[in-house]
Amino acid sequence: MKTALIIDGNYLLHKDVFILHAMKSLHKDLQNLMRMDIDRLMKLYPFDDVYFVSDSKVGYWRKTEFRGYKSERTPDSKIDWEWVYNEYEVLRKHLRENTPVRQLQIDWAEGDDLIAYIVNRNNELGYSNLIVAADSDLHQLLRFDLSKEYINISHNYK
């Protein structure tokens, strides 16, 4: 049975940012913690494919269609988000140049949309998927089908 690891990069980034910000070591340890997290996940199982999925940099199509979409979310003003996202790009470059990880990011799409696409396509090919994300909308992708011999499970650090 073929198995894929699908990492929601934005989930991983925000988890690590808030942990390190609380510990007052954000600027010192962010790159290291993100790389350790990815390395630890990749060592869980001999995955056939690993995907690192990111939200669009230019915005989301849902925000243009639904004015209030995610409007209640306000970034923590004590965190230098420009620096954080620059570090995220450094991580993505590192993954591109040093690992077999496949990266996906499409203008106007959220990572969750891409994760749903990957899972559904992989299931058609008989792949099982381990999804690392915190979005409860992704729970609709969690399924097991004995006739097709695949399973989709989700993992997060909560």
| Domain residue spans of the chain | 3-155
Query: What is the residue-averaged pLDDT of the chain?
Result: 84
pLDDT for 83: 96
pLDDT score of 64 more than 80: no
Give which of 6, 11, 12, 9 is closest to 48, Cα–Cα: 6
Strand partners, 128: 3
Let me know how many helices (H) and strands (E) the chain has, helices first. 5, 6
pLDDT for 156: 67
pLDDT for 111: 85
pLDDT for 150: 66
Annotate 65-103 with b (16+ C-beta within 10 A) or e (fewer).
eeeeeeeeeeeeeeeeeeebeebbeebbeebeeeeebeb
Fold held by 3-155: Rossmann fold (3.40.50)
When pLDDT is averaged across residues 23-40 and rounded to a whole number, the result is: 95
pLDDT score of 97 more than 80: yes
